[in-house]
Amino acid sequence: MDLSNIKAVVFDLEGTLLDRKKSRDKFIEEQYERFHDYLVSIQLADFKNKFIELDDDEDHDKPELYKAIIKDFHIDRLTWKDLFHDFEMHFYRYVFPYYDTLYTLEKLNKREYLTGVIANGKSKIKQYRLHALGIEHVINYMSTSQTVGYRKPHPKIFENILEKLDTKPEETMYVGDDPLNDVAPARAMGMVSVWFKEADAEIEPLPEEVDYTISTLEELLTILPIEQKGN
């Protein structure tokens, strides 16, 4: 595939630029320790598994998650508000990039590719995560579902990033880990779709929905014609 016309690379945030598994696992383990005296009858593994089972990566759904944890484990010395308040107080500490996140973005930036992010969720929280990841300065624009009014995989949020970056779909590469919310809709828009495949991925995109598959971000630097974009 000729990629010489690509002007922009757009990324999903959670699970693509941000190491979702490491970030979430670390938070769960330390939240469990903070409330250990109230959770002595619950094993860490059970607490973690229940959290992961209920979690959909959306911050505004955390109250429902904690209500379910309180109910399912029959916790009577805590309320869901106690756990949710702890989440609001501490979640910002658990934001880990992949080892090559910043390196790849800086290389793209240096080679004059525009970079963007599409994220479902609240703009303030997603913007903070860019800052905490240390990549805010190499992202040209971020479209969030809160700002646009539509969530991935709706075409409107993809149209918004194209408008802000001033690129056509065929001039834009999209990179994401979710076959349904990232890969398929990007390909349907006419973008070059790249699936960021996690080691434990349970769902795969259809062959006609994905142009490239990567397991590390820096692989993009071997796919794109980097040397043609500058020194």
Q: What is the CATH number of the domain that holds 105?
A: 3.40.50.1000
Q: With respect to residue 152, please indicate whether it lies within any of the assigned structural domains.
A: yes
Question: Which residues are within 8 A (CB) of 143 and not within 5 positions of it... i.e. 6 or more apart?
Answer: 116, 117, 118, 119, 157, 160, 161, 164
Read off the pLDDT of each residue in 53-58 and give the average, rounded to a whole number: 78
Contact between 18 and 96 under an 8 Å Cβ cutoff? The reply is: yes
Dist CA 67 CA 225 (whole Å): 50
**Structural domain count, the chain:** 2
Per the prediction, the chain carries an average pLDDT of 93
Residues 157 and 46 in one domain: no
Question: Domain range holding 57?
Answer: 21-93
Dist CA 203 CA 222 (whole Å): 25
Domain boundary among 29, 64, 93: 93
Question: What band does 231 get if pLDDT is binned at 50, 70 and 90?
Answer: very low
The structure's pTM equals 0.88
Residues 126 and 81 in one domain: no
Q: With respect to residue 1, please indicate whether it lies within any of the assigned structural domains.
A: no
The pLDDT value recorded for residue 60 is 58
pLDDT at 227 over 70: no
Nearest to 139 by CA among 5, 13, 3: 13
Q: State what percent of residues in the chain have pLDDT above 90.
A: 84
Give the highest mean pLDDT range of 79-93, 123-137, 159-173. 159-173
What's phi and psi for 110, nearest 5 deg? -65, -35
Give me the helices (H) in 95-139, please: 101-110, 123-133
Residues 29 and 87 in one domain: yes
Residue 82: enclosing H or E segment and its boundaries?
Answer: helix 80-90
Domain boundary among 64, 93, 122: 93
Query: Tell me: the pLDDT tens digits for 196-209?
Result: 998 888 899 999 99
The pLDDT value recorded for residue 92 is 79
Residues 115 and 215 in one domain: yes
Contact between 222 and 216 under an 8 Å Cβ cutoff? The reply is: no
Residues 215 and 172 in one domain: yes
Q: With respect to residue 230, please indicate whether it lies within any of the assigned structural domains.
A: no
